[in-house]
Amino acid sequence: MLNFIICEDEPELLKEYKNQIDKFMMKYDIEYTCYTFDCYNAKWKKVAKEIKGFKIFLLDIRTEKGSGIDAARMIREEFDDWVSMIIMISGYAEYKYEALGKRLMLVDFINKLDHSEQKLQDALLICMKHYDNKYKCLRYTYKNVAYNIEFRSIIKIEKEMDSKRCLITTEEGEYPIQGTLNEILKKLDKRFFKCNRAVAINIEQVQSYNFTKNVIKFKNGEEFKETSRSKKREMFNHVRGVC
What pLDDT digit, counting tens, does each position of 87-106 carry?
Answer: 998 876 665 656 666 678 88
Mean pLDDT of 152-172: 93
What pLDDT digit, counting tens, does each position of 33-88 carry?
Answer: 999 999 999 999 999 999 988 999 999 988 878 889 999 999 999 999 998 999 99
Topology at the third CATH level for domain 138-240: OB fold (Dihydrolipoamide Acetyltransferase, E2P) (2.40.50)
pTM of the shown model: 0.63
Q: Where does 2-135 sit in CATH, by number?
A: 3.40.50.2300
By the 10 Å C-beta count (0-12 exposed, 13-18 middle, 19+ buried), 197 is classed as: exposed
Segments making up each domain of the chain, as ranges: 2-135, 138-240
Mean pLDDT of 121-136: 86
Same fold, 2-135 and 138-240: no
